[in-house]
C-alpha cells in the first residue's frame, strides 16, 4: 500500500486541483477502496461553483466526488463483507481520489460482466431510482410516468422500471430527437413536453385514469402537471428539480385523487437508511445489471488527473449520460 495518493480538491478556483495526500486507514465499519473509476454528478459542479473564491464562492477547501468503483484494499474492524480484493461500487464523499474510505454499507459488489467505468456511473442512479420506486410503493404491473427521463438517472429509472416488470412506462423529454433513446431504454410512450400537453398525453395513454406512479426529475410546472396525470390513490415522487424548485399546484388534483406525494434526496439520507436503500436496489436489480438490461449511459471518459474538461462538459449541459474519470 503506498503512503500517499492523488486526490481532487475544490475551493481554490473554477477547477479542481490535484494534490498528493496520505492514503487513509479504515476505522471500524469502514472500507478502503482502491478506485479504478469515479463518476461525476451535477452536485460536483455546483459544489465547485459554491466554493470558487474567484467568482464569489466561499473559498472553503474540500475533497471532491461521490461515486466510485474499484477494489477493496483494506477493511476496518467489524466488517465481514466485502473482503480485500472484491470489486465494489458505491457512493460516499471524497471519492475523487486513488483511494476512498467509505462506510461498508455504502457499497455493493459489482455485478458480473460490468466493467469499472460502467460500474462507477451506476450507484447514484441505481439507488435513487430504485429507492424512489420503493418509496412510491411500486408494484409489478403498475404504470409509471418518468419525467426528465433522458437525464442520466432518469434513463436508469426507465430501465429499472422495465426490469422490475412495470406495465406501461411513459417517459418525457423536451427533445423529439431523443424519442429513440427512450424507446431503447424501455419506454412504451414518449411525451415531448413543449409539443404535447403532459397531463392530456398521459390521460390519453391511460384511458383517462392516470398512472400509478410518477418519478419526477423536473419539478416546476411539470411537477404540477403530473398530479392530475396520476390515478386515484397513486403516488408522485419528486427526485429532481431540473427545471426549478418552485411549483404552483392545484390542490384539488391532489385531494380529489387521494394522491400520496413524496420527496427523496438520498444525499441527505441517514447512513443506515442509505445502506438499506443501496443493498435493496442491488439485490433486486443486480440480475438485470448482470444481463446488461440496466446500464448507465456513458457520455465521455477523462483521466482523474485531467478532470477540468470533464467539469466543463458537465457545465455545458451538452453531456448525454454520465461523465467518468478513470483512476490510474
Distance CA 152, CA 174 (A): 15
For residue 236, the minimal CB distance to ligand NAP (Å) is 14
Nearer of residues 152 and 247 to ligand NAP, judged by Cβ: 152
For residue 245, the minimal CB distance to ligand NAP (Å) is 9
Distance CA 119, CA 48 (A): 24
Nearer of residues 255 and 265 to ligand NAP, judged by Cβ: 265
Nearer of residues 110 and 218 to ligand NAP, judged by Cβ: 218
Residue 67: what are its φ and ψ, rounded to 5°? -105, 150
Q: How far is CA 98 from CA 18, 30, 48, 85, 93, in A?
A: 11, 16, 20, 15, 13
Binding site for ligand NAP (CB under 6 A): 41-42, 124, 128, 148, 150-154, 173-175, 178, 217-218, 239-243, 264-267
Nearer of residues 4 and 46 to ligand NAP, judged by Cβ: 46
Using CA of residue 162, residue 320, residue 269, residue 109, what is the dihedral sign?
Answer: positive
3-state DSSP call for residue 147?
Answer: coil
Question: CB–CB of 161/167 below 8 Å?
Answer: no
For residue 27, the minimal CB distance to ligand NAP (Å) is 26
For residue 249, the minimal CB distance to ligand NAP (Å) is 17
Question: CB–CB of 64/8 below 8 Å?
Answer: yes
For residue 182, the minimal CB distance to ligand NAP (Å) is 8
Nearer of residues 98 and 124 to ligand NAP, judged by Cβ: 124
For residue 299, the minimal CB distance to ligand NAP (Å) is 9
Residue nearest to ligand NAP (CB): 240
Distance CA 180, CA 167 (A): 19
Nearer of residues 82 and 275 to ligand NAP, judged by Cβ: 275
The residue written with cell numbers 409539443 in the block is 195
Amino acid at each position: 500500500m503506498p503512503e500517499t495518493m492523488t486526490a481532487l480538491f475544490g475551493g481554490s478556483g473554477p477547477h479542481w486541483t490535484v494534490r498528493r495526500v496520505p492514503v487513509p486507514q479504515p476505522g471500524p465499519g469502514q472500507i478502503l477502496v482502491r478506485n479504478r473509476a469515479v463518476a461525476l454528478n451535477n452536485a460536483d459542479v455546483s459544489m465547485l461553483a459554491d466554493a470558487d473564491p474567484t467568482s464569489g464562492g466561499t473559498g472553503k477547501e474540500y475533497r471532491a466526488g461521490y461515486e466510485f468503483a474499484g477494489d477493496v484494499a483494506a477493511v476496518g474492524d467489524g466488517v465481514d463483507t466485502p473482503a480485500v480484493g472484491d470489486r465494489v461500487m458505491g457512493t460516499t464523499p471524497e471519492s475523487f481520489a486513488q483511494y476512498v474510505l467509505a462506510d461498508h454499507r455504502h457499497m455493493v459488489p459489482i455485478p458480473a460482466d460490468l466493467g469499472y467505468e460502467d460500474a462507477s456511473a451506476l450507484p447514484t442512479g441505481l439507488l435513487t431510482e430504485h429507492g424512489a420506486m420503493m418509496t412510491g410503493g411500486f408494484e409489478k404491473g403498475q404504470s409509471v410516468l418518468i419525467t426528465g427521463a433522458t437525464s442520466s438517472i432518469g434513463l436508469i429509472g426507465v430501465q429499472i422500471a422495465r426490469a422490475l416488470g412495470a406495465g406501461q412506462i411513459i417517459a418525457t423529454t423536451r427533445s423529439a430527437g431523443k424519442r429513440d433513446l427512450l424507446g431503447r431504454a424501455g419506454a412504451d410512450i414518449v411525451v415531448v413536453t413543449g409539443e404535447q400537453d403532459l397531463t392530456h398525453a398521459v390521460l390519453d395513454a391511460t384511458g383517462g385514469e392516470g398512472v400509478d406512479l410518477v418519478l419526477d426529475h423536473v419539478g416546476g410546472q411539470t411537477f404540477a402537471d403530473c398530479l392530475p396525470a396520476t390515478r386515484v390513490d397513486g403516488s408522485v415522487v419528486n427526485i429532481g428539480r431540473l427545471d426549478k424548485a418552485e411549483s404552483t399546484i392545484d390542490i384539488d388534483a391532489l385531494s380529489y385523487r387521494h394522491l400520496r406525494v413524496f420527496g427523496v434526496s438520498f444525499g441527505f439520507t441517514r447512513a443506515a437508511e442509505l445502506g438499506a436503500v443501496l443493498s435493496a436496489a442491488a439485490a433486486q436489480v443486480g440480475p438485470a445489471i448482470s444481463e446488461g438490461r440496466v446500464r448507465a449511459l456513458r457520455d465521455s471518459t477523462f483521466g482523474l488527473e485531467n478532470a477540468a474538461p470533464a467539469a466543463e462538459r458537465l457545465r455545458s449541459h451538452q453531456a448525454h449520460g454520465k461523465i467518468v474519470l478513470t483512476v490510474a
